[in-house]
Amino acid sequence: MSRQSFCLYLHGFLSSPLSKKAQQTIEFCNRSESGPQICVPEIKNGPVETIKELRTIIEVHKGMDIMLIGSSLGGFYATFLSEEYDLPAVLINPAVRPFDSRESLLGEHRNYYSDTIHSVTEDHLDELLQLERSPLMNPDNFWVLLQTGDEVLDYRLAVEKYGEKNCLVREKGSHSYDNFEVELPAVFEFLLSSIGQSVR
């Protein structure tokens, strides 16, 4: 009997489990009785605290086949966790070097969904730098979905980091990744095949 699979979805900076992509992913997983169990935690703390919380979730589910999906800053966190635990990960317009964005990140920011204020400090940016993993030990664990119209991040940085053969580059689009739901069957085909399971 194959083990149950578990998907940890990590949303982006100032986003939420209520985001469109997160909800589409939850719906996709729940549509099938054999689909992965999915968890979309609210990411609301600094990088070190966030990684501590995410490690706890992974440790709790270690008896299952674990896979990761990360969007934007969530893609940065998913990269760290994938390298640490040797897990398959799909990244959506991931933040590659968020610690370089000091001018735009430092200070207070309002969450798009909850109106909660998030304060980003120099310490937080230093924590992000400590989580950087480059070069990658296991680049084939990653499949990266990119859109050239990303108005926040330069998709070419992700191609450079993860390798052209591990990236799917769609023309135009946006940082939110337009029409993400169309990619979901292929997303889980990659994740489940990476842990030796069929998507059906």
**What secondary structure, in 3-state letters, does 139-191 show?**
HHHEEEEEECCCCCCCHHHHHHHHCHHHEEEECCCCCCCCCHHHHHHHHHHHH
Distance of CA 46 to the CA centre of its chain: 16
What pLDDT does 37 receive? 95
- The closest alpha carbon to 128, from 194, 24, 25, 43, belongs to 43
Distance of CA 160 to the CA centre of its chain: 18
Distance CA 63, CA 59 (A): 9
9-33 confidence digits (pLDDT tens): 999 999 999 999 999 999 999 997 7
| DSSP classification of residue 80 | H
Looking at every residue in the chain, the average pLDDT score rounds to 94
* 75-84, 116-125, 191-200: least confidently modelled range: 191-200
- The closest alpha carbon to 23, from 182, 181, 177, belongs to 181
Question: Is residue 91 over pLDDT 60?
Answer: yes
Distance CA 99, CA 125 (A): 5
pLDDT band at 1; cut points 50, 70, 90 = very low
What pLDDT does 196 receive? 63
What pLDDT does 112 receive? 86
What pLDDT does 97 receive? 96
Question: Is residue 173 over pLDDT 70?
Answer: yes
What pLDDT does 200 receive? 32
35-82 confidence digits (pLDDT tens): 899 999 999 999 999 999 999 999 999 999 999 999 999 999 999 999
What pLDDT does 179 receive? 97
Question: Is residue 3 over pLDDT 70?
Answer: yes
What pLDDT does 199 receive? 40
- Map residue 125 onto helix, strand or coil: helix
Q: pTM of this prediction?
A: 0.95
What pLDDT does 145 receive? 98
Q: How many CB atoms lie within 10 A of CB 67?
A: 27
Q: Is residue 150 within 8 Å of residue 96, measured between CB atoms?
A: no
Mean pLDDT, rounded, for 86-109: 94
What pLDDT does 86 receive? 96
Mean pLDDT, rounded, for 87-105: 94
Residue 135 Cα distances to 70, 74, 80, 83, 191, angstroms: 19, 19, 12, 10, 22
Domains of the chain, start order: 5-194 (3.40.50.1820)
